[in-house]
Amino acid sequence: MDLYPLKFKPILKERLWGGTKLKDVLNKPIESDITGESWELSGVQGDISEVCNGDLAGTSLNQLITKHGEKLLGKSVVARFGNEFPILIKFIDAKQDLSIQLHPNDDLAKERHNSFGKTEMWYIMNADPGAKLIVGFNRNVEKAEYIQSLEEGTLLDLMNYEEVSEGDTFFINTGKIHAIGAGVMLAEIQQTSDITYRVYDFDRKDKNGNLRELHTGLAVDAIDYEQKDDFKVDYPHKKDAVNTMVDCPYFKTNFLDLNSSMHQDLSTRDSFTIYMCVGGEATIDNDWGNVSIKKGETILVPACSSTVNINTHGAKLLEVTI
């Protein structure tokens, strides 16, 4: 089977803090007023993505990997991750503040949960005036001081707040305490992991009147208590060029702000390529087919593709590889 560019059915997640922007702005097929996440490409057990275009429609990502392996993922990717898809791609809409949380590193996640850790990045697609993120502490904090702040309800006094606007990009290391603030819609690229340690949730209750579970005990030894100015990504914005945003051991992300079509030689890229459309629209083709993509959509170009053509009169794309 020829491996054309693949589009997947979004996996929609209701969240206590979710809203309607994924429907109103990105045209996701949503009826709920509290949809917080659209998982665009997922290998997380229980939430495996399914192809929705072309002859392979209805095929799961796991089935594709089992059948096509290195042709789909790339030889080096299979050598590192076997048959597991290594990254998770989402769009997130926060109508309310998310809980303050963090994610364990690979070693701790493997030991405790038999999972990958969760390094992630955010690209801000839409932000209400004054919308903010919480990213890290506002000064170096001792573990005992952090624990005391939880007991006294003063954790927010230790947090670092960052006002955001469209195009701002953040890299969130494992161990960094963080939260997406109300009024922010973003694209998220992360390691394949759903391990989150929630440490404060504003005392909110779910639809059944229950407080959500906190993971304060697990989090204590996973937190980086040092204040670090290492999260805001300063990246070039050249038009009709490949602009590197993030290059880390888990994924590489480039920003493509295109006014015209672009041809890319992928013959030396030993990895699949993901395109997340964060503005405009385009048609993307490889050796075996093409697919249209518009704002709020994501496609996977298999690793066996020697070239890709991005045909557009205006599109903003996040290009993700391993």
Residues assigned a catalytic role: 198
Nearest to 132 by CA among 178, 189, 196, 197: 178
| Residue 90 amino acid letter | K
Report the SS3 class of residue 191. strand
CA distance linking residue 42 with residue 48, whole number of Å = 5
For Cα atoms 157, 162, 164, give the angle at the middle one, nearest 5 degrees. 150
**Pairing of β 273-286 and β 298-301:** antiparallel
- What is the sign, positive or negative, of the torsion defined by CA atoms of 211, 33, 282, 39? positive
217: enclosing H helix or E strand: helix 216-220
Nearest to 299 by CA among 41, 30, 74, 13: 41
Nearest to 264 by CA among 310, 302, 298, 300: 310
Q: Phi-psi category of 155—alpha, beta or left, where left has phi over 0 and alpha has psi -120 to 50?
A: alpha
CB 222 within 8 A of CB 105: yes
| Tokens describing residue 7 | 């589009």
Long-range contacts of 244-249 (CB under 8 A, 24+ apart): 245/121, 245/123, 245/169, 245/318, 246/121, 246/169, 246/171, 246/189, 248/119, 248/171
CA distance linking residue 137 with residue 149, whole number of Å = 12
| Residue 54 amino acid letter | G
